[in-house]
Amino acid sequence: MEPIGEMRRFERLSVGPEYEVSLEFEGRELSDAVLQNISASGCGVKIPRTEADGLEAGLRFNRLYLVHPALPFVPLEATIVRMLGRAGGSREGYVLLGLDFVYVSPTVEHLIQGHVAEHLNSETPES
């Protein structure tokens, strides 16, 4: 059972370098963003602190793409629901963004959910 406050609608899959993410904020691409995990309702993304300027909980990314051959390549919208690792005045290190998808079609939600479930239930890790 997950701790209180950590209950999620969908299972989450931790991912490796075979998964990528493309994020755009205020017309600029966050080029060093690294996808950490995915679920049908959102994802975790690690970005350098130097790219976190202007980001805060509640802000929306209007263009987010999950980049993997088994996932739908469609533009998604996502809202920042949490930011971890932000330190005042420090420009080194990373910030982890917790993003919730906004207005995801049932088809896309189903495809992501199926992909996550398939990999969580598989006996061999994806390479």
Ordered DSSP codes for 25-78: ETTEE-TT-EEEEEETTEEEEEEEGGG-TT--TT-EEEEEEEE-TTS----EEE
- pTM (predicted TM-score): 0.85
Alpha-carbon 70 to chain mean position: 16
| Domain assignments of the chain as residue spans, ordered by start | 13-121
Alpha-carbon 118 to chain mean position: 18
Residue type present at position 32: D
pLDDT tens readout for residues 54-113:
889 999 999 999 999 999 999 999 999 999 986 666 677 899 999 999 989 999 999 999
What is the per-residue pLDDT for 36?
97
CATH number given to 13-121: 2.40.10.220
pLDDT tens readout for residues 17-56:
999 999 988 888 888 999 999 999 999 999 998 888 888 9
What is the per-residue pLDDT for 93?
86
